[in-house]
Amino acid sequence: MVNYRLKVQDPLSLRLYTPVRPVGFRIMELNSGEKESFFRNLDRNYNYLVFWLEGKALLRCNEFSGQTIEEGQMVLVPMAADLACRCQSHCRLMTFGFEKFFELSEREYVHAVSALAANATDSFQPIAIKPPLEKFLKGLEVYLRKGVNRSLLHKLKHAELTMLLHSFYTVDEMANIFHSVAGKSIDFRIRVMRNYRKVEHVEELATLFGTEKRAFGRQFKEEFGTSPYQWLLAQKGKHILFSLATEGLSMDSIRKEHGFKFPGHFTRFCKEQFQATPTELVEKLRCKKENPDR
């Protein structure tokens, strides 16, 4: 159910009956410090474009550690991802949460982006916020700072953002931004991304879709380019790498969090997936997190 905030003292305001939800635009401010911040207020059921408006930070997203992002850059955080950062200065950013970025009316453009995205290398690389987009973000920030937060504003600004990206970024650039969320069947992809962290086996995921395992596997491979079994293993590995790079977590808690009953099983998984023991991975990942240029 949608919650509403009523501004009784200003009944004609656009702030009247403002829905509170994870989609749309939001301003965030993060303080610098030694402690790593986790983006717990980002809903894993949605994708997020993150626009860095001020400051500099080191980001971690799933298996990617020590990625620098600074003022004038943006990056996409895909649905279901783990995300954390360490600010090197005071940071101001804007996030845009969404389920589907493109409308069905943009079918030809979506197909072009999806075709290129299918061959894009998985990465977590920020790209530049170009001047027209910078002006758009500055204007939108004025609305958000004033508390104008009506659904219509987010819908109109989403359409304007789409137009800006179409107009000032190449199809290749768009494919690099959206490669993790673009596909042939967006609805199917979204259902997978929202549910895969709830299951342990392919059979469980197929059951959630109400589909026989073999038929589910065919549709899955058509969308993701690999079998659901291999894909689930890869996703599990990404989240394990994120946990191993996180300070303050014991090896025992990480092992249990990711469903391994015995240390030997956890070690075997890491050796098979990463050719290293969990302890070796911790040393490597935390070194990379602190020294991203190495």
What's the predicted TM-score (pTM) here? 0.86
Sorted by where each begins, the domain ranges of the chain are 3-178, 186-290
How far from 174 is each of 16, 75, 101, 115, CA to CA, in Å?
A: 35, 11, 11, 11
The CATH architecture of the domain made up of 186-290 is: Orthogonal Bundle (1.10)
In 3D, which of 86, 113, 110, 81 has the Cα closest to residue 97?
81
Q: Tell me whether domains 3-178 and 186-290 share a fold.
A: no
The per-residue pLDDT for 161 is: 95
Q: What is the mean pLDDT of each run of 10 residues along the chain (294 residues)?
A: 42 41 88 78 90 95 91 95 93 94 64 66 87 98 93 93 92 84 87 94 95 94 94 96 92 95 96 95 78 58
At 112 the three-state DSSP class reads helix
How far from 189 is each of 185, 193, 254, 289, CA to CA, in Å?
A: 6, 6, 27, 30
Span between the terminal Cα atoms of the chain, in Å: 48
In 3D, which of 177, 172, 212 has the Cα closest to residue 77?
177
- Is 278:266 a contact under the CB 8 Å cutoff? yes
- Is 145:27 a contact under the CB 8 Å cutoff? yes
The per-residue pLDDT for 19 is: 44
The per-residue pLDDT for 289 is: 61
CA dihedral over 146, 147, 153, 155, signed as positive or negative? positive
Topology annotation, domain 3-178: Jelly Rolls (2.60.120)
CA distance 257 to 208: 22
